[in-house]
A and B are shown apart, each in its own frame.
Chain A
Amino acid sequence: MANASLGESSLTQPPLTQRPAGARISRRGLERLDLMLLSVEALDLNGGEAMVWMAAQLGFGDLFPNRVELWKRRCYNPLRLACRRGELSEPETDALISLLCALADRLYPMLRQLLSSSEPEAVTDQRWGLFQGRLEELIRERLNPRRGGVQKLLDPAYGPQLRRQLIHGLAFGAGHGGFDRLKASLMDASA
């Protein structure tokens, strides 16, 4: 595409961290955030321990000193069995998103394998099947089966699309560069 011209070279680049001050993530956003963390646990058998370790590595040791504190923040997901009312503060949600981005970065080779179409279909199907099995096990253990959102996740018709959506969120939100993308997505208006 050599020598194509845009004619917009004088545009200034706003900072990518620009966002409305004091804007919080809605309950719907917290639900997606926790489901993505649950997907990380489904992909990594040691996910729970990895989260606490990663939180300490990222400097969030004060916010999430142990698994219980992390679990308490994740219980703001309205689909949880032990659901908590209210909203999380911005530093807490930012810490959870940073944690998720770092974990997704660590698991990126697995995420890529799931999304790749270059490998034999049987192998890809087996990978998705393994992920589905572990995720459904975690969902039945921790989420409220009477909620419509949980039933949709376990539904054979809607489930695959929702699981793919979760993996998309992790793959495109992985790493330092994915933070703003993922945060803006979690702050989307509810339909």
Chain B
Amino acid sequence: MEAAAHGTLSIQFMEYDLDNGLHVILHQDRSTPIIALSVMYHVGSKNERSDRTGFAHFFEHLLFEGTANIPRGQYDKYVERAGGTLNANTSRDRTYYYEIMPSNQLELGLWLESERMLHAKVDQIGIETQRSVVKEERKQRYDNQPYGTVLEETVKRAYTEHPYRWSVIGSMDHLDAATEEDYRAFYEKYYVPNNAVLVIAGDFDLDEARHHVNRFFADIPMGTEAIENNRPVEPPLSGEIRDIVYDEIDLPAVLQAYRIPQLGHPDMYALDLISKLLSEGESSRMHRSLVDESQMALAVYNFPMMLEEPGLMLTFCIANMQVDVHKLEKAMDAEINKLKENYISDHEFQKLKNQVETSFINRYRSLTGIGESLASYYTYFKNTSLINSDIKNYLNVTIDDIKRVSNEYLNSSNRVVLHYLPKVTTSSE
């Protein structure tokens, strides 16, 4: 497949910096009268202190509370009253806020995001309320959810030094311990224009947008505190780590997590392809052999965590009834070993590339998707044009690379294995 096939699908954008360091990306598309406006702050759970885990995500909740000019509880109402919607999310590496609005509301969106960046305001009532909201969020997504803790249980064993060792939602005790001073310091350090990228995608006039961006954001003072970039380097695992986690589940599961490099490392493209090869589509290797043929697994998931600093490739299999987890794990290993011992066929390789082509095209389905891609490529690579050229990095992967990379990373000495087992014996009702 030639990359030329994408010539018609390149995303046009312009970008520039304000004097205060805010990076601005504009992508015009006038086919639907809406705009997707977003700000990505380069702060995530990896920037947290080890005694304040969960802080970045908690902070995201607080930044819906209000600003010097927006009373508590009104921020979202402005958006909804204007016919828009809004939300935010936090990862290990960044925090992302967005509004999707009718195209007549560009200025309102810019006002709201500039207020958030300039002078967010949070009172004690807001802090107390959001603390209990986050506690319920934790129960709903982690504690009361079968296998909900799997990522948290994995990272705490896969890392000993690096802040990737805790979950994004973090510790509820740490949230309880946070003080007024913690909030102020976090805001002043990370929520500054020189640590953010503003993206506007959709139906707007370029000159007008530049004018309003300037009006609302240019006067926001630059942050003065250096943002640390010297997190501990995680030493290699000194051998396989195995453990058992008892959970409120009925079917056991096996998790294998291999340590892999960071975003942008040349081997990451091959690893991403390997994960597709193993579990994307019904004909993928693990799906076919574990779910379909042997029926050992009820479900197979496989994904590399593409992180800014070295991450993990996760393989997660839920066992079918009465299947022994050790047998299941052996079958998973067998698939990995095949990758290490044999070259994949040309046919299978072409299938992978066709799947990559489709997934890149699907990224362009929505303005919000395009906006987030633009923001991410800038935040992680300082190279926004990767939105159009990154596919080449995938297409350049060779059959040799697949085998070499499998041998380099997918080794038992480089992984954590967890067996999730039922807490109580199952009654057969």
Q: Is A bound to B?
A: no
Please list the residues of chain B having a beta carbon within 8 angstroms of any beta carbon in chain A.
none
